[in-house]
Amino acid sequence: MIGRILLPLALTLITLTSAAAASPQEQRGKTFALNNCAKCHSIDKVSPSPLKVAPPFRTLHKRYPIETLGEALAEGIYTGHPTMPAFQLEPDQIGDLLAYLKTLESGPAHGAGAKIP
């Protein structure tokens, strides 16, 4: 019973703490990811992706240097996982999203104890 109350509270505090420390650019990038990517991808440091074939954003830096994703985002991403829609970002959206992705490189949030897949 207490675990059912404390776990959501702890996750909320972790989210609020990281959001408070984020720059405006990182916050805009997180909002973009939440609105456009979170249906399939995990966009945080601990959750699994809702769609198993969609890689969690926290692992993208292991596949690609984050800075190199800017060109692909500008030209339009037409590949990815099989169910990923095609999209193209504006320069300011690219900067925001890349800034947010860089925040995910440090691993799991403190105290979460989650493994990175």
Per the CB < 8 A criterion, the answer to whether 45 and 58 are in contact is yes
Is residue 87 classed as helix, strand or coil in its secondary structure? strand
Is residue 13 a contact partner of residue 26, using CB atoms and an 8 Å limit?
A: no
Contact 57, 37 (CB under 8 A): yes
pLDDT at 94 over 60: yes
Amino acid identity for residue 73 in this structure: L
Q: Is 74 helix (H, G, I), strand (E, B) or coil?
A: helix
What's the pLDDT band for 1 if we cut at 50, 70, 90? Answer: low
For 43-75, write each residue's pLDDT tens digit.
999 999 999 989 999 999 998 888 888 888 888
Ordered by where they begin, the domains of the chain are: 24-106 (1.10.760.10)
